[in-house]
Protein backbone atom coordinates (compact mmCIF):
# COMPACT_ATOMS: atom_id res chain seq x y z
CA UNK A 1 0.00 0.00 0.00
CA UNK A 2 1.19 3.53 -0.76
CA UNK A 3 -0.38 4.89 2.43
CA UNK A 4 -2.82 3.78 5.14
CA UNK A 5 -6.45 3.60 4.06
CA UNK A 6 -7.18 6.33 6.65
CA UNK A 7 -4.47 8.40 8.30
CA UNK A 8 -4.41 8.45 12.13
CA UNK A 9 -5.42 11.62 13.91
CA UNK A 10 -2.47 13.70 15.05
CA UNK A 11 -1.65 14.30 18.68
CA UNK A 12 -2.45 17.80 19.92
CA UNK A 13 -5.57 18.13 17.76
CA UNK A 14 -8.01 16.64 20.26
CA UNK A 15 -7.90 16.80 24.07
CA UNK A 16 -9.65 13.42 24.45
CA UNK A 17 -7.17 11.77 22.07
CA UNK A 18 -4.28 13.28 24.02
CA UNK A 19 -5.60 11.56 27.16
CA UNK A 20 -5.58 8.24 25.33
CA UNK A 21 -2.04 8.89 24.14
CA UNK A 22 -0.99 9.48 27.75
CA UNK A 23 -2.60 6.18 28.84
CA UNK A 24 -0.90 4.14 26.12
CA UNK A 25 2.46 5.84 26.65
CA UNK A 26 2.36 4.45 30.18
CA UNK A 27 1.23 0.91 29.26
CA UNK A 28 2.83 0.21 25.87
CA UNK A 29 5.43 2.94 25.54
CA UNK A 30 3.57 4.64 22.67
CA UNK A 31 0.00 5.13 21.47
CA UNK A 32 -0.92 2.71 18.66
CA UNK A 33 -1.78 4.34 15.36
CA UNK A 34 -4.74 1.96 15.23
CA UNK A 35 -6.34 3.78 18.18
CA UNK A 36 -5.59 7.17 16.62
CA UNK A 37 -7.31 5.99 13.44
CA UNK A 38 -10.34 4.60 15.29
CA UNK A 39 -10.61 7.99 17.00
CA UNK A 40 -12.02 9.49 13.78
CA UNK A 41 -15.16 7.98 15.30
CA UNK A 42 -14.43 8.34 19.03
CA UNK A 43 -17.14 5.93 20.18
CA UNK A 44 -15.42 3.13 18.25
CA UNK A 45 -12.08 3.99 19.87
CA UNK A 46 -13.55 4.09 23.38
CA UNK A 47 -15.61 0.92 22.86
CA UNK A 48 -12.47 -0.86 21.67
CA UNK A 49 -10.47 0.38 24.67
CA UNK A 50 -13.15 -0.80 27.11
CA UNK A 51 -13.26 -4.21 25.41
CA UNK A 52 -9.46 -4.35 25.50
CA UNK A 53 -9.40 -3.57 29.23
CA UNK A 54 -12.11 -6.15 29.97
CA UNK A 55 -10.39 -8.88 27.94
CA UNK A 56 -6.92 -8.23 29.33
CA UNK A 57 -8.08 -8.03 32.96
CA UNK A 58 -6.84 -11.04 34.92
CA UNK A 59 -9.51 -12.87 36.90
CA UNK A 60 -8.02 -16.36 37.13
CA UNK A 61 -4.85 -18.20 36.20
CA UNK A 62 -4.57 -16.76 32.69
CA UNK A 63 -1.57 -14.47 33.05
CA UNK A 64 -0.99 -11.17 31.26
CA UNK A 65 2.03 -12.70 29.55
CA UNK A 66 0.07 -15.72 28.28
CA UNK A 67 -2.68 -13.46 26.96
CA UNK A 68 -0.11 -11.57 24.87
CA UNK A 69 1.40 -14.82 23.55
CA UNK A 70 -2.12 -15.96 22.62
CA UNK A 71 -2.54 -12.64 20.78
CA UNK A 72 0.76 -13.25 18.98
CA UNK A 73 -0.19 -16.77 17.83
CA UNK A 74 -3.59 -15.46 16.65
CA UNK A 75 -2.00 -12.55 14.79
CA UNK A 76 0.63 -14.75 13.18
CA UNK A 77 -2.08 -17.15 11.96
CA UNK A 78 -4.00 -14.18 10.52
CA UNK A 79 -0.82 -12.77 8.93
CA UNK A 80 -1.03 -9.31 10.54
CA UNK A 81 2.55 -8.14 11.00
CA UNK A 82 1.45 -5.01 12.82
CA UNK A 83 -0.26 -7.05 15.55
CA UNK A 84 2.56 -9.62 15.66
CA UNK A 85 5.04 -6.91 16.64
CA UNK A 86 2.61 -5.34 19.13
CA UNK A 87 1.79 -8.62 20.87
CA UNK A 88 5.38 -9.82 21.16
CA UNK A 89 6.38 -6.40 22.56
CA UNK A 90 3.50 -6.56 25.04
CA UNK A 91 4.39 -10.14 26.00
CA UNK A 92 7.88 -8.97 26.91
CA UNK A 93 6.59 -5.90 28.79
CA UNK A 94 4.05 -8.01 30.71
CA UNK A 95 6.54 -10.56 31.98
CA UNK A 96 6.72 -13.41 29.47
CA UNK A 97 9.83 -15.51 30.00
CA UNK A 98 12.50 -14.91 27.37
CA UNK A 99 12.60 -18.65 26.70
CA UNK A 100 8.89 -18.63 25.85
CA UNK A 101 9.22 -15.59 23.58
CA UNK A 102 12.18 -17.12 21.74
CA UNK A 103 10.47 -20.51 21.35
CA UNK A 104 6.83 -19.54 20.96
CA UNK A 105 6.41 -21.61 17.78
CA UNK A 106 7.85 -24.67 19.51
CA UNK A 107 5.24 -24.37 22.26
CA UNK A 108 3.92 -27.91 21.65
CA UNK A 109 7.26 -29.52 22.58
CA UNK A 110 9.43 -26.91 24.30
CA UNK A 111 9.83 -27.38 28.08
CA UNK A 112 9.24 -23.66 28.70
CA UNK A 113 5.51 -24.33 28.14
CA UNK A 114 3.20 -26.41 30.32
CA UNK A 115 0.22 -28.45 29.12
CA UNK A 116 -2.33 -25.78 30.02
CA UNK A 117 -0.41 -23.16 28.01
CA UNK A 118 -0.10 -25.60 25.09
CA UNK A 119 -3.86 -26.15 25.11
CA UNK A 120 -4.51 -22.38 25.11
CA UNK A 121 -2.07 -21.75 22.26
CA UNK A 122 -3.54 -24.64 20.25
CA UNK A 123 -6.97 -23.03 20.69
CA UNK A 124 -5.54 -19.68 19.55
CA UNK A 125 -4.10 -21.19 16.41
CA UNK A 126 -7.17 -23.26 15.54
CA UNK A 127 -9.64 -20.44 16.26
CA UNK A 128 -7.67 -17.94 14.16
CA UNK A 129 -7.60 -20.08 11.03
CA UNK A 130 -10.19 -19.81 8.29
CA UNK A 131 -12.12 -22.04 8.33
CA UNK A 132 -12.11 -22.30 12.10
CA UNK A 133 -10.25 -25.39 13.30
CA UNK A 134 -11.59 -25.75 16.84
CA UNK A 135 -12.73 -29.35 17.30
CA UNK A 136 -13.69 -31.78 20.08
CA UNK A 137 -10.07 -32.68 20.86
CA UNK A 138 -9.02 -29.04 21.36
CA UNK A 139 -12.19 -28.35 23.37
CA UNK A 140 -11.62 -31.35 25.67
CA UNK A 141 -8.02 -30.31 26.33
CA UNK A 142 -9.17 -26.77 27.16
CA UNK A 143 -11.79 -28.07 29.63
CA UNK A 144 -9.17 -30.34 31.17
CA UNK A 145 -6.80 -27.47 31.98
CA UNK A 146 -8.99 -24.36 32.31
CA UNK A 147 -12.30 -23.52 33.96
CA UNK A 148 -15.18 -21.88 32.10
CA UNK A 149 -14.30 -18.33 33.11
CA UNK A 150 -10.69 -18.82 32.04
CA UNK A 151 -11.76 -20.26 28.70
CA UNK A 152 -13.93 -17.16 28.18
CA UNK A 153 -10.89 -14.96 28.95
CA UNK A 154 -8.71 -16.89 26.49
CA UNK A 155 -11.28 -16.83 23.70
CA UNK A 156 -11.86 -13.15 24.44
CA UNK A 157 -8.19 -12.48 23.61
CA UNK A 158 -8.42 -14.50 20.40
CA UNK A 159 -11.59 -12.67 19.32
CA UNK A 160 -10.12 -9.26 20.23
CA UNK A 161 -7.15 -9.91 17.98
CA UNK A 162 -9.45 -11.16 15.24
CA UNK A 163 -10.86 -7.63 15.22
CA UNK A 164 -7.44 -5.98 15.43
CA UNK A 165 -5.90 -8.20 12.74
CA UNK A 166 -8.64 -7.27 10.27
CA UNK A 167 -8.56 -3.60 11.28
CA UNK A 168 -4.81 -3.13 10.97
CA UNK A 169 -4.16 -5.29 7.92
CA UNK A 170 -7.06 -3.74 5.99
CA UNK A 171 -6.24 -0.23 7.17
CA UNK A 172 -2.53 -0.73 6.46
CA UNK A 173 -1.87 0.92 9.82
CA UNK A 174 1.61 2.41 9.96
CA UNK A 175 3.69 0.58 12.52
CA UNK A 176 5.29 2.66 15.26
CA UNK A 177 9.05 2.77 15.88
CA UNK A 178 8.76 0.96 19.22
CA UNK A 179 6.84 -1.93 17.64
CA UNK A 180 9.32 -2.10 14.74
CA UNK A 181 12.14 -2.36 17.27
CA UNK A 182 10.41 -5.25 19.05
CA UNK A 183 9.60 -7.03 15.80
CA UNK A 184 13.18 -6.77 14.60
CA UNK A 185 14.67 -7.83 17.93
CA UNK A 186 12.28 -10.64 18.82
CA UNK A 187 10.78 -11.95 15.57
CA UNK A 188 12.87 -11.15 12.51
CA UNK A 189 15.55 -13.80 12.91
CA UNK A 190 13.32 -16.78 13.75
CA UNK A 191 10.04 -15.89 12.05
CA UNK A 192 11.29 -13.73 9.17
CA UNK A 193 9.18 -10.81 10.42
CA UNK A 194 9.31 -7.49 8.59
CA UNK A 195 7.03 -4.45 8.50
CA UNK A 196 5.33 -5.51 5.26
CA UNK A 197 2.55 -3.13 4.23
CA UNK A 198 2.79 -1.25 7.53
CA UNK A 199 5.78 0.96 6.69
CA UNK A 200 5.67 4.12 4.56
* All structural domains of the chain: 60-195 (1.20.1290.10)
Confidence of residue 60 (pLDDT cuts 50, 70, 90): confident
Q: Please, what is the average pLDDT of the chain?
A: 95
For the residues 167-171, what does the mean pLDDT come to?
Answer: 98
Residues 6+ apart with CB under 8 A from 7: 37
What's the half-sphere exposure (Cβ side, CA atoms, 13 Å) at 154? 31
Quote the pLDDT of residue 122. 98
Residue 200 CB coordination number (10 Å) = 11
pTM score: 0.94
Convert the pLDDT of each residue in 120-158 to its tens digit.
999 999 999 999 999 999 999 999 999 999 999 999 999
Specify the length of the chain in residues.
200
Convert the pLDDT of each residue in 17-45 to its tens digit.
888 888 888 778 889 999 999 999 999 99
Quote the pLDDT of residue 22. 83
Give the DSSP letter string of 146-183: S-HHHHHHHHHHHHHHHHHHHHHHHHTPPPPHHHHHHH
Distance CA 190, CA 173 (A): 24
Amino acid sequence: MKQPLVLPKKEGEDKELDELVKFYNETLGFCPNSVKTMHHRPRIAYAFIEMNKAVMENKGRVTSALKRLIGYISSHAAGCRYCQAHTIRAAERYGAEQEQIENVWEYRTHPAFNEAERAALDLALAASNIPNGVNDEISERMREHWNEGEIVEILGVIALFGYLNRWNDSMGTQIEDGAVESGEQLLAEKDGWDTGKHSY
